[in-house]
Amino acid sequence: MSSSIITGQYVRIDQTPASVGERLLALAIDDVLIILFVMGLLGFLPLHFLVSETFLILLCLFVIGFYSLLCEVFNNGQSVGKRLMHLRVVQIDGSEPTIGSYLLRWLLYPVDVGFSGGIGLVCALVTKNRQRLGDLAAGTMVIKERDYRRLHVSLDEFSYLTDDYRPTYPQAADLSLEQVDVITRTLYTYNKERARRIERLSRKVVDALRLPAGTQPGEELLQTILRDYQYYALEEV
């Protein structure tokens, strides 16, 4: 089942989770490659006078243990098996995983496939995005690369932004997604505290962005800042 996401950077992500069968086949390919590599290394053991036997054994253990982590970190979420199967690891929002995300997936791999009797397979079968425990913890998923589309959202999809729109405050481009979310929630939350919160937040925005002296705080300022941020976000993507 394909999913469509509009990210905080105004990019539409269309992606389809890889099936359990595809993931298992990719894993099998990787396992075969590891076995062949280890067998090749161990074939040098009789030549221990050229290469330390201990070194070869440690190298084999290193390859077995770190293969998936190193492939995903240095090959944009793809091991050899995933690449051949046209699969890729991404964040749930379609963005590229961080090293921390890859590391968390790797640390939980033994739990998924070893110590627990295959709990990762069960999770992948019952979760919407076919995620194993490592994916759930890291906020990642494995997708079908051929079904992955990253589409720019045009200015036309925002009624208040036109092709000739010119931002008022260039500083809006420096806002973080968290700050934009705070502004948006403040503007579109209606209660008796709304006016006071808008006033306080707009003053903080003036100070944080170092807006020109004389800039008037208030709802109009926040609306303008939000439109300017969206303009610059769309320009970037």
CB neighbourhood size of 152 (10 A): 13
pLDDT confidence of residue 182: 87
**204 and 226 assigned to the same domain:** yes
Based on the fold, state whether residues 188 and 134 are members of the same structural domain. no
Mark whether 93 and 165 lie in a shared domain: no
pTM summary value: 0.58
Residue 27's pLDDT is 92
In a shared domain, residues 18 and 86: yes
Q: Is residue 64 within 8 Å of 34, Cβ to Cβ?
A: yes
For residue 4, the SS3 value is strand
Q: Residue 59 has what pLDDT?
A: 84
Check if the beta carbon of residue 138 is closer than 8 Å to that of residue 106: no
Do 142 and 168 lie in a common domain? no
Q: Quick one: pLDDT at residue 152?
A: 44
Residues sharing a CB contact under 8 Å with residue 99, sequence separation 6 or more, in sequence order: 73
| Boundary residue ending a domain (121, 150, 179) | 150
Identify whether residues 136 and 225 lie together within a single domain: no
Domain of residue 170: give its range: 157-236
Query: What is the reported pLDDT for 6?
Result: 47
What's the length of the chain?
A: 237
Helical spans, DSSP H, in the chain:
20-42, 53-74, 80-84, 99-107, 109-110, 119-126, 133-138, 177-187, 194-209, 219-236
Same structural domain, 10 and 103 = yes
Q: Residue 105 corresponds to which tokens in the numbers above? A: 């997936």
Q: Based on the domain organization, do 47 and 139 belong to the same domain?
A: yes
pLDDT for 191: 80
93 and 198 part of one domain: no
Crossing angle (nearest 10°) for helices 219-236 and 194-209 = 50
The whole-number pLDDT of residue 226 equals: 86
Q: Are residues 133 and 180 in the same domain?
A: no
Tokens standing for 173? 């481009």
| Tally of structural domains, the chain | 2
Per-residue pLDDT of the chain (237 residues; tens, 9 = 90+): 555 554 544 455 567 889 999 999 999 999 999 999 888 877 765 655 556 777 778 888 898 999 999 999 999 899 999 999 999 998 887 778 899 999 999 999 888 877 555 788 888 888 888 899 999 999 999 998 876 655 444 444 454 556 677 888 999 888 887 788 888 888 888 788 888 999 999 999 999 999 988 889 999 999 899 888 878 776 654
* Domain end (from 150, 183, 213): 150
Rounded Cα distance, 84 and 120, in Å: 22
Domain boundary among 87, 118, 150: 150
Find tokens 């999809």 and name the residue: 157
Q: Provide the pLDDT for residue 154.
A: 44
Q: What is the dihedral of CA 123, 128, 134, 136, to 10 degrees?
A: -120
- Verify that 106 and 198 share a domain, yes or no: no
Q: Angle, to 10 degrees, between the axis of helix 119-126 and the axis of helix 20-42? A: 150
Do 66 and 120 share a structural domain?
A: yes
DSSP SS3 for 156 = helix
